[in-house]
Structure 1
């Protein structure tokens, strides 16, 4: 289990992580000015804060990937999620690090 504030271990994306990505796709497209035919979560890390930050590696076509950071509020604060940051021009081999 990760420490509060620390970045957890990398894990393969599951259906829950893909659902987060699906809901963040329009926001990522708006932020990058691109349209993505593919938006598939591959791996992720979490960070426990006053909620959870999800750092997700997303395949967006051919050899290109994005790293997105999504913040999920605690359930007692509404549980909403928002795209807080992203990094473009990532590859399959780029590790997920804090950004």
Structure 2
């Protein structure tokens, strides 16, 4: 994969779910909502100074959100950060750059 380009879509792994769980409080604070269901479904990555993850997350029922998460390079010691999100997504919406 070239630097800056998006990877192919991959199914979420337990590691991706852990990262999504880590940013859940940031998302709930920004969206002013609380969610019982917060399940990572699939994702793409973009290599920058760290890795940006674009993750499709199931919120329950037919509600989905796309999260843009930065995982900084390990040597920085910085935490995972929710950079942006898109609401109103469906199960069939492709995860793309935003």
Indicate the SS of the match to 1:3: coil
Deviation at 1:93, TM superposition (A): 0.3
* Number of equivalences: 98
Structure 1 range deviating more: 76-85 or 31-40? 76-85
Give the distance between the partners of 2:53 and 2:81, measured in 1 at CA.
10
Deviation at 1:8, TM superposition (A): 0.4
Deviation at 1:79, TM superposition (A): 4.7
What stretches of structure 1 of length at least 5 have no aligned partner? none
Give the distance between the partners of 2:57 and 2:97, measured in 1 at CA.
15
Deviation at 1:76, TM superposition (A): 1.5
Q: Deviations over 1:49-97 (max 9, x none)?
A: 0100000000001001000000011012115210000000100000001
2:71 corresponds to 1:72:
yes
Task: Please report the TM-score for the alignment, with normalisation by the length of structure 2.
Answer: 0.97
- Aligned pairs for 1:2-81 within 5 A: 2-81=1-80
Task: Please report the TM-score for the alignment, with normalisation by the length of structure 1.
Answer: 0.96
Question: What is the aligned partner in structure 1 of residue 89 from structure 2?
Answer: 90
